[in-house]
Amino acid sequence: MKSLQNKIAIVTGGGSGIGRAICLLYASEGAKIVVSDVDEKGGEDSVAQIKAKGGVAIFVKADTSKPEDSRKVVEQAVEKFGGLHIAVNNAGIGGPLSPVGEYPVEGWDKVISINLSGVFYGLRYQIPAILAAGGGSIVNIASILGKVGTKGSAAYVAAKHGVIGLTEASALEYADQKIRINSIGPGYILTPLLTKSLNDTAMKALVGLHPMGRLGTAEEVAELALWLNSDKASFVTGAYYNVDGGYLAQ
C-alpha cells in the first residue's frame, strides 16, 4: 500500500519549488492534496500536474500571513475531503538583503508575518482538524538558517530560528495526542526563489558553500518530508532534520 493512502494533506506554498515537489510526491503516495499558495497560476498548475498523473487535488488561494486564510484552507480540506491528517507549512519568502542597522522595517514585518507567523497560523487551525481526525503529522519547513546566521538576512534568519522553536514547543504539547510535529532545514535548493533573484556569480558562490559541491533539489527535500509525514517516522516528533549537502557539518 502507498505510504499516504487515504490521507488528506495541506501543503502551503504548493505552487512552485519545494512545495510543488511535496505536492506531487505526496499525491503519488496516495494522499489527497490541498494546494495552498498566494500564486493562483502556480497553484492551479500544481493541481493540474497532480491530476495528470491520476492524483486528487484542489487549489485554495491563500496568504499565510493572514490567519483567516489559514483557517479557510483547513475548512476547505474538511469540506472537500472530509478531514485533515497531514500538513506541510512550507510557504516563505527571502526578504530584503541589508544589515540590521539599515534593514527596512516594512521588510522585517513582511518576512516575519509570512515565514514565522504564517507557520503559527497554519498550526493554529491545522491542529484542531487533525485532532478531530484522530491524529496525524505536521512538517514545518525551516532552513539551515534556522540553526546558524548569515549576513544581510536578519529577518529570514530570525523567522527560521523561530520556526524551529515553534515546532519544538508545539510537538511537546501534542506528543501524547497522536500528532507529530517536526521541522526540516533545507540548504540552498535550486528553486525559483533562487534562480529568479541571483545571477550566475552569486549562484556559483552558493554552490561553493556546500561540501557536496552542488545545490539541493526540491525533490530531495520532498523525500525527507514524506518520511516524516509517514508512519515510518512514528516515533519522531519535535525533531529538526537538515538536508543541506553537508553545510551545517562545517
Beta bridge partners of 141: 184
Q: Long-range CB contacts (< 8 A, 24+ apart) of 201-204?
A: none
Contact 31, 4 (CB under 8 A): yes
Gap between the Cα atoms of 67 and 144, Å rounded: 26
- Beta-strand ranges (E) seen in 69-166 are 86-89, 136-141
Gap between the Cα atoms of 34 and 17, Å rounded: 16
Which bin fits 245, alpha (ψ -120 to 50), beta or left (φ > 0)?
left
**Vertex 75: Cα angle to 71 and 77 (nearest 5):** 120
Gap between the Cα atoms of 22 and 191, Å rounded: 13
- Beta-strand ranges (E) seen in the chain are 8-12, 32-37, 56-61, 86-89, 136-141, 179-186, 240-243
Task: For the chain, give the number of residues.
Answer: 250
Q: Report, as residue numbers or ranges, the catalytic residues.
A: 156
Gap between the Cα atoms of 192 and 13, Å rounded: 12
Residue type for position 224: L
Place of cell 557539518: 249
